[in-house]
Structure 1
Amino acid sequence: MHAALIDILGNLPDNTKVFCGHEYTLQNLKFAKHVEPDNPDILSRIEWAKAKRDGGEPTVPSTIADEKQTNPFMRVIHNSVQKHAKYNNSIDTMQSIRKEKDSFKG
């Protein structure tokens, strides 16, 4: 997962479109806010996603740039995410938050 998100997807051009199979954006952003409650990009994107869904519009596709700013799994290299996970390296941080997301209710 680390290699796929950080090494492969993370090196794609920022304007690369990202499509997921289901409308998970708001739930994923709730988890992102739990991990990084003070990240203004996450807070802004939550409002954007709510407005889109309230208007009956999809939040998909995203872009690599959006994911790098708001997806905690693509932000495991950042101190704020590592601090949340209580690790100081990206691999242990990713393992920790992946396990945490499995039981996250939001």
Structure 2
Amino acid sequence: CLSRFEHVSPYLCKKLNTSLYSLKRIKTISNTATTKITYFALFESHIRYGIAVWGGTSQENLQRILRLQKKAIRILNCLGPRDSCRGSFTDLKIMTVISLYIREVILHVDGKNLP
């Protein structure tokens, strides 16, 4: 039996891979600040779209998206493929996909309690 969110990961990963290519190209011709703006516009916007709904999907799907997000962070900070990017998330003030999901769910639940 297929999960109702099985289609999210392949579709989203394709979008994110396209955004990674754009980030690589932009990084070669501009500075980190411009590339970071591009990250939020092209990459994170795809992750955020509907994350409160599909974010509860399998851990495997979230890990696949997190791996792509780490590639984007490595592009932003000019890190090698084996370099740790944990500190770069903090330095760039970028939340991981899992943190984004938790934030969106909390905001959604908190919004329900408003008068």
Normalising TM by the smaller chain, what interval? 0.3 to 0.5
Scaled by the length of structure 2, the TM-score of the pair is 0.30
TM-score (norm 1): 0.32
Q: Specify the structure having the higher radius of gyration (Cα).
A: 2
